[in-house]
Amino acid sequence: FSANVSDDFETFYYNQTLDHFNYMPESYSTFQQKYVINSKYWDGANRSAPILAYLGAEAPLDGDLRIIGFLTDNAAEFKALLVYIEHRYYGESIPLGSSRKVALGNASTLGYFNSAQAIADYAEIIIYLKEKLKAQNSPVIVIGGSYGGMLASWFRLKYPHVAIGALASSAPILYFDDITPQDGYYSIVTNVFRETSETCYQTIKESWSTIDEVASKPDGLSVLSKTFKTCNPLNSVYVLKNYLVSMYGHAAQYNSPPKYPVTIVCGGIDGAPPETDILDKVFAGVVAYKGNSKCYVNALENISETTVGWRWQTCSELVIPMGITNNPMFQPSPFRLSDFTDWCRSLYGVPPRPHWVTTYYGGYDIKLVLNKFGSNIIFSNGLRDPYSSGGVLVNISESIVAVHTVNGRIFP
């Protein structure tokens, strides 16, 4: 944002309820939840001008404000008030004394960290603001992207009396409980790479067996560590392969102008001299994508709060069974719930609940179910976004519609 635009945004903090669903003494504890308002374009409560409420997701709100131009682009036309609300446990909206270390300390304190509590937070703030602004007649549209898009659609279903409609962008609400095949995400990753460059696709496809062949030799891991300039000696070939799979997925997910990361990766791979061996070509793709660095693959990095928070969310309720079973560009690496459960138990001491999302929000037979009781939801997707494989891609009714761009990627 330019300086004059950022001046239009005013930050507030709401005294939020810790636990909306229980009546134990500790449930009544509160924390400061951040929200931001832009009233520059609002035509006011007297004219029942609308409110566009952006539902924060798995990141601090400030980062979203820098990239979410959609709301400001449309606020003038609709004469809308813009409200942006930060998700609990991210950014400055930390319960339990505002200490991230305490709040994220164990499963007992993390128990208040879930989507149902989050959308209840949003409902409480929106109702409070409508009362404060005497804007009871101002219609509310909730908006979100990716996980935030899931929250927006679920909010409309759970709180139809608070929001008249929802825009759910890049919202993979069907990537739960095996509704979507676990291969969906990486199938699109493969398609994006193959459409970008057939030779790049072939190189990646052939690289896995070469990596395994080198790793099987007595000094194989040492050779791979040297080839890929790892920050620490590899103790397992899976560290390298997981790094590459993740890199390819990330590049495809965010493959948009002006950088087009898949084009960058493939430019490095295809641009290597003809005599270059296959692993050096793959490493050239790593360098092209990551930039020049002293080392790669297993650097000791500070783990972002998004990674920390999302790890808990996916280990508790948002169990997305994403795997690779039959994919021409990747080796099989299927999602196994038993292994995932063991991993989550090792981290938090509690198992995930893989069926809770579909129990609480629905998902099965979505066209039949939502056609009966849902309304006023727009599901938007870019079909080159790997998560679109778990999105709603067809119209459900006259007011629950799906829009997509063939070459679009993930929100925003």
CATH number, residue 381: 3.40.50.1820
Task: Please report which confidence band the pLDDT of residue 411 belongs to, taking 50, 70 and 90 as the band edges.
Answer: low
pLDDT of residue 124 exceeding 70, the answer is yes
Q: Is residue 410 part of a domain?
A: no
CATH of the domain at 282: 1.20.120.980
* Residue 58 to residue 69: CA distance in whole angstroms: 18
* Residue 359 to residue 154: CA distance in whole angstroms: 12
b/e 372-395 (16+ beta carbons within 10 angstroms → b)? eebbbbbbbbbbbbbbbbbbbeee
Shared domain check, 122 and 144: yes
Shared domain check, 349 and 376: no
- Identify the domain containing residue 199 by its residue range: 182-354
Number of domains in the chain: 2
Q: Is residue 412 part of a domain?
A: no
- Report the pLDDT value the prediction gives residue 1, as an integer from 0 to 100: 36
Shared domain check, 258 and 113: no
Helix/strand/coil for 166: strand
Q: Can you tell me which residue has the tokens 């270059």?
A: 276
Tell me the one-letter amino acid at 195.
Answer: E
Tens of pLDDT, residue by residue over 105-120, are: 888 899 999 999 999 9
Shared domain check, 104 and 193: no
pLDDT of residue 341 exceeding 70, the answer is yes
Residues 6+ apart with CB under 8 A from 200: 193, 265, 266, 269, 270, 285
User: Which residues on neighbouring strands pair with residue 153, listed in sequence order?
Assistant: none
Q: Is residue 373 part of a domain?
A: yes
Shared domain check, 370 and 341: no
Tens of pLDDT, residue by residue over 35-62, are: 999 999 999 999 999 999 999 999 999 9
* Residue 139 to residue 53: CA distance in whole angstroms: 10
* Residue 66 to residue 2: CA distance in whole angstroms: 10
Q: Tell me which H or E stretch contains 250.
A: helix 237-253
Tens of pLDDT, residue by residue over 226-274, are: 999 999 999 999 999 999 999 999 999 999 888 899 999 999 999 999 8
Residues in the chain: 412
Sheet holding 140-145: strands in order across? 9-17, 30-38, 81-85, 51-55, 140-145, 165-169, 377-382, 400-405
Pairing of strands 30-38, 81-85: antiparallel
Shared domain check, 204 and 141: no
Prediction pTM value: 0.94
Q: How many CA atoms lie within 13 A of 55 on its CB side?
A: 34
Residue 179: CB atoms within 10 A of its CB come to 18
Residues 6+ apart with CB under 8 A from 111: none
Shared domain check, 333 and 213: yes
Q: Is residue 137 part of a domain?
A: yes
Shared domain check, 148 and 274: no
Note whether 150 and 390 are within 8 A (CB).
no
